Amino acid sequence: MESSNLTSVTEFILLGLSSQPELRVLLFLLFLIIYLMILLGNLLIVLLILRDSCLHTPMYFFLTNLSSNEICFTSCVFPQMLVHLFAKRKSISYNCCIIQFYTFLAFGISESFLLSVMAYDRFVAIREPLKYLISMNWRVCRMLAAGSWLGGFMISTVDTVATFQLTFCQDNVINHFFCEMPALMHLSCTDTSQAELVVQVFCIFTIFCPVTFIILSYAHIIVAVLRIRSAQGRRKAFSTCSSHLLVVTLFYGTAIFVYMKPQSLSSPEYNKIASMFYVAFTPALNPLIYSLRNKEVKMALRKLLGKLEPKQPSCFSSPSS
């Protein structure tokens, strides 16, 4: 196939979530509410952490990064998806598809790394509580957060180049609601084995390795928690970690289903459903999981709403610089 055919497709047509017109209003309202929940919930988490000095600790610093990432991650998809629910022609230009593909993947990979960093943070906090603020000082926290963001954008660059070197011929209809990698692989009219190999290699670094690291971290955390003599101490430690573990399960479970199986076994319809979990439901649940199960966040929210008198409660000391 000549390289000139790479530009034979100037736009893609997205089939969207459903082909049934009668569901448009219901789907629009549902996903508009979910998107507003994601934006407001994660913005509220960021606001509470920035405002309350009691939350100026490494755990909440990484949670601020995660919430900021979730806003960017979902904003790569939701606005266009909502518009396309009522658009007569659900098209996206070739260049816009590349931008959406790149940014979505970059923020998704960054989230994967941030979740790993948060697992490491909990491991240090529970395993070595007396040395925690020394080990996780602000310099270390900033380096880990910056490495997560930078790693996501660097790996996304390689994956984007590998994917859009494929040839897209006459068929430009994507059976998906956004430009995601498996859907584009299905659309290519040339051999995708080389691109799939690149994707699988980077999936090892961005999904398999983080999941393995998180599992090992929590194995050590469980051992350390079981050594705590106080039942209240064990309960508090498990409560702190269970929120993060729930988010990890939701995020990685669906990501593994979509990205780490051979494209020959991949079903566009099932991929759309799985993608909806980490695009919509997990980011919407994150603020609820981290706030409803966390006393410090609930206390900060009450103070913000004026339900408590402003006073100086006992706080953890900020990590040393």
Which two three-digit tokens encode residue 225? 């928690």
What does the alpha-carbon distance between residue 32 and residue 26 come to, in Å, rounded to a whole number? Answer: 10
Contact 198, 159 (CB under 8 A): yes
Q: Is residue 292 part of a domain?
A: yes
Q: Give the pLDDT of residue 318.
A: 40
Q: Is residue 152 part of a domain?
A: yes
Q: What is the mean pLDDT of residues 243-257?
A: 80
Q: Give the pLDDT of residue 265.
A: 61
Write down the pTM of the prediction.
0.85
Residue 308 has pLDDT above 80, yes or no: no
Who has greater pLDDT, 24 or 110? 110
Q: Is residue 177 part of a domain?
A: yes
Measured in whole angstroms, how far is the alpha carbon of residue 181 from the centre of its chain? 16
| pLDDT grade for 186, boundaries at 50, 70 and 90 | confident
User: Which CATH number is 30's domain given?
Assistant: 1.20.1070.10
Q: Give the pLDDT of residue 236.
A: 67
Q: For residue range 85-125, list pLDDT tens digits in order.
A: 888 888 999 999 999 999 999 999 999 999 999 989 988 98
Q: Give the pLDDT of residue 4.
A: 43
Share above pLDDT 90 across residues of the chain, in percent, rounded to a whole number:
32
β partners of residue 301 = none
Residue 321 has pLDDT above 70, yes or no: no
Structurally, the chain folds into a number of domains equal to 1
Q: What is the mean pLDDT of residues 39-67?
A: 91
Q: Phi, psi (5° rounding) for residue 3?
A: -65, -25
Q: Give the pLDDT of residue 6.
A: 45
Q: Is residue 84 part of a domain?
A: yes
Q: Is residue 232 part of a domain?
A: yes
CB-hemisphere CA count at 13 Å for 295?
Answer: 5
Contact 54, 300 (CB under 8 A): yes
- E strand or H helix at 93: strand 91-93
Q: For residue range 125-139, list pLDDT tens digits in order.
A: 888 888 898 999 999
What does the alpha-carbon distance between residue 51 and residue 56 come to, in Å, rounded to a whole number? Answer: 9
Which domain range does residue 16 map to? 11-304
Q: Is 238 buried (19+), middle (13-18) or exposed (0-12) by CB count in 10 A?
A: middle
Token pair 């039942």 in the structure block, residue = 231
Q: Is residue 234 part of a domain?
A: yes
- E strand or H helix at 292: helix 282-292
Share above pLDDT 70 across residues of the chain, in percent, rounded to a whole number:
87
Token pair 């736009």 in the structure block, residue = 11
CA distances from 268 to 18, 146, 238, 273, 276 (A): 12, 34, 38, 9, 12
CB-hemisphere CA count at 13 Å for 305?
Answer: 8
Q: Give the pLDDT of residue 15.
A: 87
Q: Is residue 204 part of a domain?
A: yes
Q: Is residue 77 part of a domain?
A: yes
* DSSP string computed for 137-190: -HHHHHHHHHHHHHHHHHHHHHHHHHHTTS---S--EESSSS--HHHHHHH-SS
Residue 240 has pLDDT above 70, yes or no: no
